[in-house]
Amino acid sequence: MEKWGEIKIEEGLKTLSTWERSGDRIRKEFRFRDFIEAFSFMSGAALHSEKMNHHPEWSNVYRTVTVELTTHEAGGLTEKDFQLASILDSLAS
């Protein structure tokens, strides 16, 4: 998987809803009604991540799930990060 350059990253961010760039990562905080809804989101995200063989760095505190995506083997952001971000947005809506 090829690491994306600055222009492609900026274009990719325009296609996502409220994701922020943080160095060689993109990051988003998802808020849900309660812990069960947050955990349900994480379960669905885990299934998609496993299918893609692309796993997020994330944390969960009660109803908030914070997700960071990067492609470690490429040393930065790739198409996989933006694909998974889009899937996570869909799961959360």
Supply the residues annotated as catalytic.
50, 54-55, 72-73, 81
The upper half-sphere exposure of residue 18, i.e. CA atoms within 13 Å in the direction of its Cβ, equals 11
Nearest in space to 91 (alpha carbons), one of 44, 53, 49: 44
In whole angstroms, how far apart are CA 3 and each of 10, 43, 45, 53?
13, 28, 23, 17
